[in-house]
């Protein structure tokens, strides 16, 4: 399978998770998450599984083999997540971590893949007698990896003396708009909610040429981040704005149900925009991803006839996938971070527009952050109420 096809499948899985999340747990609140972070942890689980469990994971990830996933990881991570801040581009970081009960032996084959392909730091800890200390260590790791944006990914009591292994991924992104907003132009405006009421929220305002295109029922606009001297990557936020003020649910259904929707609906080229408004917003989200995946047919815990026995010397296990994300968007740019933690417990026995366009995001919209060269989606979310703080 080519890298392009693998990334297309990666996006398909991302949108499948997004549809489930935004129509269930995230239906009535602002939401942001990193589908890439969740899938990276699933890559780690796949590398340590065999039998029906491995086949189930590969099927869900739309991949033919562990080697295919390893190849994708080896290609994407150094390309996308190299820090570009010293060259005038976005600040990025990406980390994988593995914490294993000290009384359990890690299988050499799994250890090799984890260290060489996924670049994960492995640490032996004492879950049996001091699970709270291990929990604090994972939280400290996540806080450091996300520049302090995500402080407590694991709450009290989430780790206990049955925990055998924790696999985690952390992603951090900080980008400055290539064409920043003028803060003096930001003003209080009406933002219409899905129920027809409205709130007064600060909407940033801009004019001039933008990457925007009008489609049937919605508009899409791309906001590039400052690229600096990096010619191999280009990050951008995309806003998908339904024409109808209450049209977001239908737009989510449409975006997430059509193969290659994002590639088929590109806001190119630059066109004159008469008025562009969008709200500042800050979102913190957290959910148990294993519940979302279960609804999509990927059952965690795993069945007894297909366990994660390629990781450690243990007969059977269960797993909880916890995900927390953060995003802040303002006049200067974007800060975003995500952490996915897998707690595994074992029992040890169209035509281009030519007219002037308005793009006024004064009602609920969908957004995503993507690396444009590879079309890899890092973060996805929706804004229902920019004043909401959860």
Q: Is residue 155 part of a domain?
A: yes
- The answer to whether residue 250 is domain-embedded is yes
Q: Are residue 293 and residue 156 in the same domain, yes or no?
A: yes
Residue 247 located in a structural domain? yes
Rounded to 5°, angle at Cα 26 from 330 and 202:
25
| Alpha carbon distance 152, 138 (integer Å) | 9
Classified as helix, coil or strand, 334 is: strand
Residues 66 and 11 reside in one and the same domain: yes
DSSP 8-state class, residue 85:
G
Asked if residue 167 and residue 299 are part of one domain, the reply reads yes
The answer to the question of residue 131 being in a domain is: yes
Q: Which residue has the tokens 């055998």?
A: 164
Residue 128 placed within a domain? yes
Residue 389 domain-assigned? no
Does residue 186 sit in the same domain as residue 299?
no
Q: Are residues 48 and 74 in the same domain?
A: yes
Q: Are residues 88 and 194 in the same domain?
A: no
Residues 266 and 303 in one domain: no
As for how many domains the chain has, the answer is 2
Range of the domain at 317: 3-175+282-347
Q: Give me the DSSP letters along 132-159.
A: HHHHHHHHHHHHHHTTTS---SS-TTSS
> In terms of C-beta density within 10 A (0-12 exposed, 13-18 middle, 19 or more buried), how is residue 297 classed?
exposed
Residues 71, 49, single domain; the answer is yes
Secondary element (H or E) of residue 125? strand 121-125
122 and 188 in a common domain:
no
Question: Do 238 and 275 fall into the same domain?
Answer: yes
Same domain as 194, residue 162? no
Counting as low any pLDDT under 50, the low residues of the chain are 303-306, 315, 348-353
Query: Tokens for 120?
Result: 């994960």
What is the helix (H) or strand (E) element at residue 173, kind and residue range?
Answer: strand 163-176
CA atoms of 122 and 312, how far apart (whole Å):
13
Cβ atoms within 10 Å of 261's Cβ, excluding its own: 15
CATH of the domain at 295: 3.30.497.10
Nearest CA to 125 among 116, 138, 112?
A: 138
d(C-alpha 317, C-alpha 324), whole Å: 23
Angle at 125 between CA 123 and CA 126, to 5 degrees: 170
CA dihedral 321, 141, 374, 364 (to 10 degrees): 60
Q: Are 30 and 388 in contact (CB under 8 A)?
A: yes
Residue 8 lies in a domain: yes
Place of tokens 């994960």: 120
pLDDT tens-digit series, residues 285-330: 999 999 999 999 998 755 444 455 566 665 455 678 999 999 999 9
Backbone angles phi, psi at 347, to 5 degrees: -85, 120
Q: CATH number, domain at 355?
A: 2.30.39.10
Per-position DSSP letters for 184-239, written without gaps between them: GG-EEEEEE-TTS-EEEEEEEEEEEEEEEEEETTEEEEEEEBP-TT-SS--EEEEE
Q: What is the value of pTM for the model shown?
A: 0.94
Please report the pLDDT score of residue 314 as a whole number: 52
CB atoms closer than 10 angstroms to residue 162: 17
| Torsion sign across C-alpha atoms 22, 26, 32, 36 | negative
Q: Which residue has the tokens 């906001």?
A: 223
Q: Contact, 49 vs 306, CB < 8 A?
A: yes
| Residue 388 counted as domain residue | no
Cα distance between residue 148 and residue 161, in whole Å: 28
Neighbours of 86 (CB within 10 A): 9
Asked if residues 89 and 229 have their Cβ atoms less than 8 Å apart, the reply is yes
pLDDT at res. 309: 54
Q: Are residues 103 and 45 in the same domain?
A: yes
């Amino acid at each position: 399978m080519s890298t392009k096809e693998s990334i297309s499948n990666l996006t398909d899985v991302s949108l499948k998770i997004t549809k489930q999340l935004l129509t269930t747990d995230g239906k009535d609140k602002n939401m942001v998450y990193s589908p890439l972070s969740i899938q990276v942890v699933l890559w780690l689980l796949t590398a340590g599984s065999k039998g029906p469990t491995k086949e189930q994971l590969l099927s869900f990830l739309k991949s033919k083999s562990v080697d295919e996933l390893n190849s994708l990881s080896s290609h994407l991570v150094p390309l996308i997540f190299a820090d570009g801040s010293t060259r005038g581009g976005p600040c990025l970081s990406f980390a994988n971590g593995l914490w294993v009960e000290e009384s359990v032996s890690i299988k050499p084959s799994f250890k090799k893949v984890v260290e060489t392909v996924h670049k994960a730091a492995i640490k032996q800890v004492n879950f049996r007698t001091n699970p709270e200390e291990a929990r604090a260590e994972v939280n400290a790791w996540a806080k450091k990896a996300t520049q302090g944006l995500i402080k407590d990914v694991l709450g009290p009591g989430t780790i206990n003396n049955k925990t055998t292994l924790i696999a985690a991924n952390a992603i951090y992104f900080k980008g400055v708009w290539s064409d920043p907003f003028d803060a003096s132009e930001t003003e209080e405006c009406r933002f219409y909610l899905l129920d027809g009421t409205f709130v007064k929220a600060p909407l940033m305002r801009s004019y001039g040429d933008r990457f925007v295109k009008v489609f049937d029922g919605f508009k899409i606009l791309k906001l590039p981040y400052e690229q600096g001297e990096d010619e191999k990557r280009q990050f951008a936020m995309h806003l998908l704005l339904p024409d109808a003020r209450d049209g977001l649910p239908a737009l989510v259904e449409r975006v997430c149900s059509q193969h290659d929707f994002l590639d088929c609906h590109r806001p190119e080229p630059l066109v004159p925009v008469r008025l562009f408004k969008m709200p500042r917003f800050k979102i913190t989200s957290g959910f148990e991803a294993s519940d979302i995946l279960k609804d999509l047919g990927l059952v965690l815990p795993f069945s007894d006839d297909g366990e994660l026995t390629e990781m450690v010397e243990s007969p059977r296990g269960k797993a909880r996938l916890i995900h927390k994300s953060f995003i802040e968007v303002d006049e200067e740019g974007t800060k975003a971070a995500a952490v996915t933690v897998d707690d595994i417990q074992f029992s040890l026995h169209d035509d281009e527009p030519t007219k002037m366009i308005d793009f006024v995001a004064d009602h609920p919209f969908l957004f995503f952050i993507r690396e444009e060269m590879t079309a890899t989606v890092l973060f996805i979310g929706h804004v229902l109420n920019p004043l909401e703080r959860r």
